[in-house]
Amino acid sequence: MALLRFFRNGVILGSAEVEGGVPILEIAEQAGIEIPSGCTSGNCGTCLVKLIKGKVPIPEPPPPGLDDYLIEEGHVLACCCIADSACDIETNPPL
């Protein structure tokens, strides 16, 4: 069983099992964890989260709400990125 663990400012909020083909945002919602979202299509960047541990494939081409420098820093968009293994995710957006 692979888990997504969600953190805010380093404090664990909860976890949920990875579900194939289900975006991180939906898994968080099922676990009762709120991640702000806007467009839910990868355009606005409201649902930006950071991977602490693990890997999440970035769609190709990257969605408009995700710049190259954000990808390099380990950020993903929860609305359109899908974890395929266990991950630790920081839900506090960058300043």
For the segment 11-69, what is each residue's pLDDT rounded down to a tens digit?
999 999 998 899 999 999 999 999 999 998 999 999 999 999 999 999 899 999 999 99
pLDDT score recorded for residue 15: 96
Domain of 53, CATH number, reads 3.10.20.30
Give the CA distances from residue 77 to residues 1, 23, in Å, rounded to whole numbers and listed in that order: 23, 9
pLDDT score recorded for residue 91: 95
The range of the structural domain enclosing residue 38 comes to 3-90
Number of structural domains (the chain) is 1
pTM of the model: 0.91
pLDDT surpassing 90 at residue 93: no
Our CA angle for 67, 71, 77, nearest 5°, is: 80
pLDDT score recorded for residue 92: 85
The answer to whether residue 86 sits within a structural domain is yes
Dihedral sign from CA coordinates of 95, 39, 75, 85 = positive
The answer to whether residue 72 sits within a structural domain is yes
The answer to whether residue 95 sits within a structural domain is no
pLDDT score recorded for residue 94: 65
The answer to whether residue 68 sits within a structural domain is yes
